[in-house]
Amino acid sequence: MRPKTFFLEPVTPFRLDLTVWTLRRRPENIVDRWDGQTYRRVLILQNGLAEIGVIQVGPCEAPRLQVSVEGQPLLSSVKAAVTLALERLLGLRIDLTKFYQLAAREKQLGQLAHRFQGMKPPRYETIFESAIVGIASQQVSRTASIIVLNRLTEGYGAKLRDEGKMTHAFPRPEDLAGLSPAALRLLGFSGQKERAMIEIAQSIVGERLNLEELAALSDEDAVERLGRLRGIGRWTAEYILLRGFGRTHIFPGDDVGARSNLKRWLGLEKPLDYDAVRRILARWHPFAGLIYFHMLLDRLEQSGFLQAEPSKSRAAPSAPIEKRQDINRRSYR
């Protein structure tokens, strides 16, 4: 089936490359794929699987995205579902005017915001996905967490076959609920993570848990509720609030790598703890999570994964990058 296309116009400014890198974090990621020009992901729609491809065809200041859909006819319902998913995944409707206004008043933050202007804060497609990614990312490097998540996706995510190639959607609760801990152990997960992931999946399938309804709670109450689940502590709960619920005022303060890079960025001498991070970031409320994302891009740029300076005519695509040495273990998952 030949792909069908339609167009979307994000809230300006927008750069697809920066936004996708903030979402995917490492070049090994097989769920959120990027070849330097096109973002691809398999979505599970009401009528089956579809692979979407997104290309930016307008500049950062007047962005326009060409969206292709493979595997499904481009009915109005399919177009609406894909649009809704992309608005969440790529932050297309988020207006960062107030953040840029604040950044313009401060040299240090202004320089950071200018370098990565057009990045929109992305979110995982579901809260369940953010929880699984958060659990997988505990106490390991970014590369290690993405490798085991890739194995999980290839082993248990829904498969889309098209013209001899196979791609995978991120696993749903029903894909994991029936697994044994031993099955996840073979993929590289630890015992605590195995049990946590399976229990969450089983609770959702059994309708004992609805992660989406936590959106109505305050930060404190959501962290407390999430903390009742096996394998979720404060760091993972805050990670879910930021990358799942899109609460961009949240900076996961227990991330040792994130604290180290905040210290480096600000030129501080003493190490930071959780409370110190909160005190420092209070001056930039409610944009702590945006600073977290911008420093992620800063580290990715230093590692050669992306190009911060945009092209004059359009958003600058990042060239495909081969696997490189991991940086800053436990940082910016």
Which tens digit of pLDDT belongs to each residue from 182-195?
999 999 999 899 99
Domain 4-123+290-302 adopts which CATH fold? TATA-Binding Protein (3.30.310)
Chain CA centroid to CA 34, Å: 13
Mean pLDDT of 265-290: 94
pLDDT of residue 47: 87
Domain ranges of the chain: 4-123+290-302, 127-243, 256-285
Quick one: 315 exposed, middle or buried, by C-beta within 10 A (0-12, 13-18, 19+)?
buried
d(Cα 290, Cα 25) in Å, to the nearest integer? Answer: 15
pLDDT of residue 161: 85
pLDDT of residue 308: 77
The span from the first CA to the last CA of the chain, in angstroms, equals 36
CB 250 within 8 A of CB 241: yes
Chain CA centroid to CA 268, Å: 28
pLDDT of residue 331: 41
**Higher pLDDT among residues 200 and 327, named by residue:** 200
Q: What is the CATH number of domain 127-243?
A: 1.10.340.30
d(Cα 307, Cα 68) in Å, to the nearest integer? Answer: 25
Mean pLDDT of 293-301: 91
On the question of pLDDT at 319 being above 90, the answer is no
State the amino acid at position 75 in one-letter form: L
Q: What percentage of the chain reaches a pLDDT higher than 90?
A: 81
Mean pLDDT of 283-292: 96
Mean pLDDT of 194-199: 97
Q: What percentage of the chain reaches a pLDDT higher than 70?
A: 91
| Closest C-alpha among 269, 40, 270, 329 to residue 169 | 40
Q: Does 310 sit behind a cis peptide bond, omega within 30 degrees of 0 on the bond before it?
A: no
Mean residue pLDDT of the chain comes to: 91
Running DSSP on this structure, what letter comes out for residue 91?
-
Torsion sign (Cα): 64, 119, 218, 194: positive
d(Cα 296, Cα 267) in Å, to the nearest integer? Answer: 17
d(Cα 116, Cα 287) in Å, to the nearest integer? Answer: 15
Would the pTM of this model clear 0.85, i.e. be above it?
yes
d(Cα 40, Cα 203) in Å, to the nearest integer? Answer: 30
Residues 81-125 have pLDDT tens digits of: 999 999 999 999 999 999 999 999 999 999 999 999 999 999 999
